[in-house]
Each structure stands twice: as C-alpha cells, then as structure tokens.
C-alpha cells in the first residue's frame, strides 16, 4: 500500500504506507503514521451531472448547518447605514478612506458593525473589493491616525497582516470590521453578540442547531456585502472574501452560505475550516469544542473524539462554494492547522468543480513551499508560522486577477 489518496466508490480514503492504527493518540498527533485509516463521504453523493448538483448542494448545506455551524439569522429590515467619516484622502495620499456604521436595529445606541473602507485614489468606476474581519480593531490594520481606536491594542498592531498600501496599488479596495462588533470571542452565554436580535420570546441562548460565534461572524460578512451592494464606488460583483484562522472558518461558512461573494479565501483555517477532521492530525473536533465552546452549534460537540461518526467533513464545506473560485493556504510551521489536511480537502472537493465544468485543482500532488497552484481551486504553502504575510496577500491578488481579469 502506498501513501496517497484513493478515489473509491464510497468516497475518498487516505491510505498509509504503515498499517492503520486503530487507537486515537492521547496527545495532539503530528505523525502521519499514527493517523487512523478513514473514509470521506463523497461530496457528490448521487449527483452524476451538473443538473443534479443543486439538490445535492441543498442536502450538504442542511447537514453542515444542522450538525456543525448552526442556523443563522437573516437580514434585518431595521438596518440603517450611517456614514461616519470621509471620503477623504488618507495614508499619505495613497488611499481614500471612508467609514460606515451598519446599525442593525436602526438605533445609534444599538448593536452595530463599523466598516473601515480604503479605496485606491484616482480610480474611475466601481472598484473590486477584498473584504475581511480583523481581530484587534479597525485602528490596528494601518497607521492611519484618524481611525478611532476601539480596543487597547496599539495603532497599526496588525499592519503586517493587512498590507493596505500593497492592496491599493494592485487596484483593489479593502474593507474590514472588528469581528467582536458581531460577537465577543469568549463564552458569554450568547448575550452580547447579534444572536439575541433573533431570540424567540423566552429564549436565552441559541438552540442546539443554531449559530455560535462563527455563524455570527459569517452573518456579519453578509451584512457588509449588503452595504457593498449600495455603494456605487464598490464593485459588488467582484468581492473577494478572506479570513485567517478562526475568521477563516467564518469566511468559508459565509462563502458557502452567500453566493454573492465572487471568490473565497481561507488562510490557516485548520480544523473546522479547510482541514479534514477525520485525519486526526493537529487540532481535533474535541479541541475546538472544549477550548472554544462558543464557536459552533451545540450539535457539533456530539462528535468530540468521534470524528469517524461524522457524516461530513470539510471537503463538503469547500464544495459548497462551487463553482466559484476558492483559494486555501497554509504555513509550514502551522502543523496545528494541518496544512496537508487543508490541501486534501481541496482534492476531495475537486470532483464537484469538475462536474460543474470548472478546472478545479490543477494538481493533486502536495506542492513544495512557495509554489502556488491556481485553477478554480487554488492553494499554496509558505515558510513560516500561523500568520498572514505580504506573500499571502500577493498570491491572493494574483488569484483574484486571474479570475476577475482587467480592472
């Protein structure tokens, strides 16, 4: 038996050169030889032609919604967009900045999402967009002194993860909001995020098949997309949704849930994101649900330590984005996020893209460092740690250029 991926009638099986190990390792596993044998349920199911895919897609979405991410709320009719600053020159004349608050209940003292928008100067016509949430506040993505600080983090603390000037030079707008505008990233009993906006009378927390924090962050990305559709300076047909780490998980779910996003990018999203859970490599389902019990629907916890029982895996999440382009990327030193498992998700989702007449993933061989693969599905692994770097951004923009064409 040789190491590799075998496509079988029942799905995709990862076969080890060594005999299968039945018992789960007691600590995080970083040894391919210690992974149990596993079989992936096929993303295509019974779908044999493109016309079969909408029905199969609906089945997969319902499955992941019920068992993993939870049902999200819808768009609120009370929402109001309130410009709070700009448009004005910023970043030494390399950008036009404007800020908009999305007031979910229409009230200034109610829950809101604050968008920070940078546009390239002197660009005519609607501009394609990179949209993503940030971890530490809008003021941390650049040194712009006019952006209000909403956390104690230093101004520009996350500048290296956003490379705003590079994005603008490539002809893209960049839009961000603080992820905790939507839900705080700790277990608060779901009292301080957007979930209570949708509670039924007497309800105090989401039901077992309803959204956690990742669902709330994904919901907020769609609300940002609602705004983009109203702004004539932005091209709502060319929006690239991106996310890193836990926000990468949210970006994948938002991309699966909302077909308006033209391209979806997942960076180091790992378990619960792009990486296959059944590999039992690095972070596991139990790790997710015990360390971060507020992230997913409560139903997901039934698979703690029992990934073999899961009737789904993350390749199905990737497949839900089809036929739209999707790019995943990893870091060599980020074994907790299982880089190879992220790549194998794309391999296992590739048949869906092929069924829909798209090129899918050009190679099923795990690539060397700094060797991007770009079809309708794309992937790279770079040297370094769990982070977002200029190298990542340049490859994301290469991928967007490939699919959007001239700006």
Catalytic residue positions, numbered: 245, 386
Q: Which residues lie closer than 8 Å to 125 by C-beta, 6 or more apart?
A: 235
CA 407 to each of CA 47, 48, 124, 235, 259: distance values in angstroms, whole numbers, following the listed order: 36, 37, 10, 10, 21
In angstroms, the CA 401 to CA 407 distance is 8
Beta carbons within 10 angstroms of residue 265's beta carbon = 29
In angstroms, the CA 88 to CA 97 distance is 5
| Helix 246-257 with 213-228: angle, nearest 10 deg | 60
Question: Residue 60: is the preceding peptide bond cis (ω within 30°)?
Answer: no
Percent helix, strand, coil in the chain, to 5, is 35, 20, 45
Residue in 100, 148, 98, 149 with CA at minimum distance from that of residue 119: 98
CA 173 to each of CA 96, 116, 176, 243: distance values in angstroms, whole numbers, following the listed order: 9, 11, 10, 16
In angstroms, the CA 239 to CA 228 distance is 9
Write out the E strands in 34-160.
38-40, 80-90, 95-103, 112-119, 127-134
Q: Which residues lie closer than 8 Å to 231 by C-beta, 6 or more apart?
A: none
In angstroms, the CA 360 to CA 375 distance is 6
Residue in 166, 142, 167 with CA at minimum distance from that of residue 154: 142
């Amino acid at each position: 038996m040789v190491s590799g991926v075998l496509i079988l009638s029942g799905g995709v099986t990862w076969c080890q050169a060594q005999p299968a190990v039945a018992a789960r390792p007691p600590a995080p596993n970083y040894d391919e030889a210690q992974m149990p044998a596993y079989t992936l349920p096929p993303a295509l199911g019974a779908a044999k032609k493109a016309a079969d895919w909408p029905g199969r897609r609906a089945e997969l979405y319902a499955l992941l919604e019920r068992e993993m991410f939870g049902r999200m709320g819808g768009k609120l009719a009370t929402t109001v967009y309130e410009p709070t600053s700009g448009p004005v020159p910023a970043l030494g004349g390399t950008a036009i900045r404007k800020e908009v608050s999305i007031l979910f209940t229409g009230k200034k003292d109610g829950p809101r999402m604050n968008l920070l928008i940078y546009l390239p100067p002197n660009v005519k016509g609607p501009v394609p967009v990179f949209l993503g949430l940030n971890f530490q506040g809008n003021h941390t993505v650049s040194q712009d002194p006019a952006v209000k600080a909403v956390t104690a983090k230093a101004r520009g603390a996350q500048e290296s993860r956003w490379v705003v000037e590079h994005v603008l030079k490539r002809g893209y707008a960049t839009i961000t909001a603080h992820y905790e505008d939507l839900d705080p990233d700790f277990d608060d009993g779901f009292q301080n995020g957007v979930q209570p906006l949708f509670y039924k009378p007497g309800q105090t927390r989401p039901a077992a098949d309803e959204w956690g924090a990742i669902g709330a962050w994904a919901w907020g990305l769609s609300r940002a997309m609602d705004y983009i559709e109203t702004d004539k300076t932005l091209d709502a047909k060319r929006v690239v949704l991106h996310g890193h780490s836990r926000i990468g998980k949210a970006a994948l779910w938002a991309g699966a849930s909302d077909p308006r996003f033209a391209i979806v990018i997942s960076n180091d999203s790992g378990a619960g994101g792009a990486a296959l859970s059944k590999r039992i490599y690095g972070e596991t389902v139990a790790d997710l649900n015990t360390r971060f019990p507020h992230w997913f629907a409560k139903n997901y916890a039934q698979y703690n330590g029992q990934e073999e029982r899961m009737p789904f895996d993350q390749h199905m999440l990737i497949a839900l984005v089809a036929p739209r382009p999707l790019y995943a990327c990893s870091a060599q030193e980020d074994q907790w996020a299982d880089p190879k498992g992220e790549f194998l998700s794309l391999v296992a989702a590739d048949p869906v893209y092929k069924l829909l007449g798209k090129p899918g993933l050009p190679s099923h061989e795990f690539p060397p460092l700094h060797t991007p693969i770009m079809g309708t599905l794309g992937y790279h692994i770079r040297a370094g740690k769990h982070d977002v770097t200029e190298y990542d951004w340049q490859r994301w923009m290469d991928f967007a250029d490939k699919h959007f064409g001239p700006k």
